[in-house]
Structure 1
Amino acid sequence: MTRVRALAETDLPAVADVYAHYVTTSVATFDETPPALGEWRAKAEGITGAGLPFLVAEADGEVAGYAYLSPYRPKAAYRHTFEDSIYLHPGHTGRGLGRLLLGELVARARETPARQLVAVIADSGDPASARLHAAYGFEEAGRLRAVGFKHGRWIDTLLLQLDLR
């Protein structure tokens, strides 16, 4: 059975492990060193303390993925714009969990003062994340060329945006 629920503190080690996989094996994130558990704890407290969702997809009692909203930029004028982040356990991809998580994030974003959601997607050549976001109405807003360098190559980021109003 699969369900989407709010993050519990006991989920943080699994969340950290999922993210560490992408940090070390992919360009899905531009982090080059996996954050420590304490960093995840502080991040989760900051997100939920700001009234933003931090969600977990649970499959058969295990964390199969997670998603959260965070401020797009720290300056005050961006206060109604949020960025989504979604990561799935590598053993749980292709099962519709990303769709469940993003759908719930968008629904919860509509309950906040958010006006815009932004997705910043590393262009690894795999269109799955862009397709997922497009299914929820995100539209391409631009491309930043060769802004990240990881695993010996330059990577573009694709910017997608969803107007919530």
Structure 2
Amino acid sequence: MEGLSTKEGIDYIAWIYTSETKNETLMKNCLECDKPLMGRVDKKFCSDMCRNSYNNRLNSDSHNLIRNINNQLRRNRRILEELCPEEKARTSKSFLITKGFDFNLLTSVRPTQKGSIYHFVYDYGYLELENDFYLIVKDNRLEKQLSGSKDYGKADS
């Protein structure tokens, strides 16, 4: 291989590899743009741009659903937070709907001992009252659990 240019050296190595694999085709193409690939044998893309484009296209459909649900959950939480600056607040169903609240998306449901059911969006919950009114509450337990988790794994002193 002495005296060969880099390209000639690569071609020579490719020829040896092809010969050793019983004339199987060595040349692979980029999964995104279909250009011939040079370099490592396991290379799949000709550039970072092609790799990013391929993965973005591949994941866009499955991630759109999750992204839309997460966005609506964040919107629901923001609405509840805005309407409940203290520990409790009261509002109407129509007002929640005009703000863009989606009653179909929540993160948990908690029944009370009296048989009422609180619907939660992360740390904010709502309880249906009479005449299409809702009681909004903030559950500080989640915040306390998360702040307490910083000490997780430490020995008690």
TM-score, scaled relative to structure 1: 0.22
Answer 1 or 2: higher relative contact order, Cα 8 Å, separation at least 6: 1
Report the structure, 1 or 2, having the larger helix content.
2
- Name which one, 1 or 2, has greater alpha-carbon Rg: 2
TM-score, scaled relative to structure 2: 0.22
